[in-house]
Amino acid sequence: MTLRIGIIGTGAIGTDHARRINRVLSGAEVTAVTDVNRDSAEACGGRGPGAQILGSAEEVIAASDAVLVCSWGTAHETQVLAAIAAGKPCFCEKPLATEAYGARRIVEAEEAMGRRLVQVGFMRRYDRGYVALKETVRTRLGPPLMIHAAHRNPSVPGRYRTPMAIHDTLIHEIDVLRWLLDDEYVSAQVIFPRATRHTHAGLRDPQIVLLETAKGVRIDVEIFVNCRYGYDIQCEVVGEEGTARLPEPTAIPTRLGAVFGQPILMDWKDRFIDSYDVELQDFLKAAAQGTAAGPSAWDGYAAAITADVCVQAQERPGAILPVTLPARPALYA
């Protein structure tokens, strides 16, 4: 059976996911799309000839076996709740919700259904480099003590504001480092170095977020979203017996014109291209069984709680604020 997939939000990642469902992955076809901006739905190149353009998220959910929520973060909660109410498996791009109470409502709705329906788009858990790093940390490094990480984007759209550095960008590290360490956060702090001249009044850039885990691991993450030179994701784990580093993406080193060089990618779409394929194939496999796998609504909620504290910490630079997670429900054991 070919799963009928609906896509809500056909911007950058909605279009990219449509392409991979129709042209790269197996078992599914995009049959319906919607976007508040109809021009965007019409321009969605990868949607395929069979896909209808519908007027609302609700119509897409009704017409599909499973849906992808790829709209802006502020719209995710309502759209995911509508998919759960219809009993349809739902892949929701990060963040699950822009505030923890929204993610909490999604967890409660899923619990009431009694089965998992939501996968959150934390694709780094599927990245070969992170998977290998996690295995190295688990088997060779001894207890982890510290992590030094950086998340740099060459630039961001004009609507990007200071809190988005947390719930749009840092959210990837919040999730992947919690997964990497198999640990929970207990505190967060934000400090602001000298600002780059390539930013504007609504965005403090760069920022440094300091996280502490229940086992006492200290993490520093630099977020620098106007770094200009490339899309650069760094992660080094320091353990009792040694250190381990996220590998650089494969690129051809050259010796040309008296320079030893290696290109740096410019776009997140290219940096994590393989992991997007694997995460969505995982979603399609579970959706065919009427359920969901991979990063759960609980993971989205845990990330949103941490993100809320980090946003508060942005407003009180230097203050160390507690992060408190409720008990994990049995559905997510």
Nearer to ligand ISE, 169 or 306 (CB): 169
Site string for ligand ISE, 257-286 (x = CB under 6 A): -----------x------------------
Q: Which stretches of 121-242 are assigned E, i.e. beta strand?
A: 144-152, 185-191, 207-213, 218-224, 232-239
Least Å from the CB of residue 108 to ligand ISE: 26
DSSP state of 294: S
Q: Which amino acid is at 203?
A: L
Candidate list 34, 169, 199, 296; residue touching ligand ISE; CB under 6 A? 169
Least Å from the CB of residue 131 to ligand ISE: 17
Which residues are within 8 A (CB) of 149 and not within 5 positions of it... i.e. 6 or more apart?
Answer: 173, 177, 219, 220, 221, 222, 234, 235, 236
Q: Which does 169 bind (CB under 5 to 8 A by kind): ligand ISE, ligand NAI, none?
A: ligand ISE
Q: What are phi and psi of 168, to 5 degrees?
A: -105, -35
Candidate list 64, 71, 199, 207; residue touching ligand NAI; CB under 6 A? 71
**Stretch of 49-57, 165-173, 259-267, 286-294 lying at the interface with ligand ISE (CB under 6 A):** 165-173
Check binding of 13 to ligand NAI (CB under 6 A).
yes
Question: 270-309: which residues touch ligand NAI (CB under 6 A)?
Answer: none
Which residues are within 8 A (CB) of 157 and not within 5 positions of it... i.e. 6 or more apart?
Answer: none
Check binding of 123 to ligand NAI (CB under 6 A).
yes
Pairing of strands 144-152, 185-191: unpaired
Least Å from the CB of residue 153 to ligand ISE: 5
- Quote the distance between the C-alpha of residue 300 and its chain's center: 9
Pairing of strands 207-213, 218-224: antiparallel
Question: 172-231: which residues touch ligand NAI (CB under 6 A)?
Answer: none
What does the chain come to in residues? 333
**Stretch of 8-16, 145-153, 181-189, 238-246 lying at the interface with ligand NAI (CB under 6 A):** 8-16
Q: What are phi and psi of 245, to 5 degrees?
A: -130, 140
Alpha-carbon distance of 153 to 168, in angstroms, equals 12
Site string for ligand NAI, 14-53 (x = CB under 6 A): x-------------------xxxx--x-------------
Largest CA distance in the chain: 64
Q: Which amino acid is at 331?
A: L
Environment class of 327 (CB within 10 Å of its CB; exposed 0-12, middle 13-18, buried 19+)? exposed
Nearer to ligand ISE, 141 or 176 (CB): 176
Check binding of 168 to ligand ISE (CB under 6 A).
yes
Q: What secondary structure does DSSP assign to 169-197, as a single string?
A: IIHHHHHHHHHHHT--EEEEEEE--SPPT
Other beta carbons within 10 Å of 18: 23
Other beta carbons within 10 Å of 31: 20
Nearer to ligand NAI, 11 or 27 (CB): 11
Candidate list 65, 77, 93, 175; residue touching ligand NAI; CB under 6 A? 93
Nearer to ligand NAI, 8 or 188 (CB): 8
Nearer to ligand ISE, 168 or 308 (CB): 168
Candidate list 45, 55, 72, 322; residue touching ligand NAI; CB under 6 A? 72
Residues forming contacts to ligand ISE in the complex (CB under 6 A) are 153, 156, 168-169, 172, 225, 268
Residues forming contacts to ligand NAI in the complex (CB under 6 A) are 8-14, 34-37, 40, 57, 70-73, 75, 93-94, 121, 123, 168, 268
